[in-house]
Amino acid sequence: DIQMTQSPSSLSASVGDRVTITCRASQSISSYLNWYQQKPGKAPKLLIYAASSLQSGVPSRFSGSGSGTDFTLTISSLQPEDFATYYCQQSYSTHSFGQGTKLEIK
């Protein structure tokens, strides 16, 4: 099984900050990596697919990069609606998710 490890597990930041979340796979997954945002009581929402492609309708302040085992999600300028939990997900084999990164207001 491919294990996905996100860091940090939680993060405090302010509106306007630039934030980066990291996801590491236990083996190479090429670019088969997606990112989701989940708000309390809601289903996850797809943000980034194939490591760096922005899902339609997602603001351009979100971006993704990486390949192989190391990936990042960057939010260039935090907005109030961005405070949520973020998950990475690999689709290389038997889909699995990272444990999540909770982004909180400082």
Which residue's CB is nearer to another protein, number 33 or number 78? Answer: 33
Measured in whole angstroms, the distance separating CA 69 from the mean position of its chain's CA atoms is 14
Choosing from 44, 64, 66, 82, the residue that interacts with another protein (CB under 8 A) is 44
71 belongs to the binding site for another protein (CB under 8 A)? no
Stretch that binds another protein, among 20-28, 61-69, 73-81, 93-101 (CB under 8 A): 93-101
Choosing from 5, 55, 74, 76, the residue that interacts with another protein (CB under 8 A) is 55
CA–CA distance, 53 with 63 (Å, rounded to integer):
8
Residues near 62 by beta carbon (within 8 Å), at least 6 away in sequence: 35, 47, 48, 54, 73, 74, 75, 76
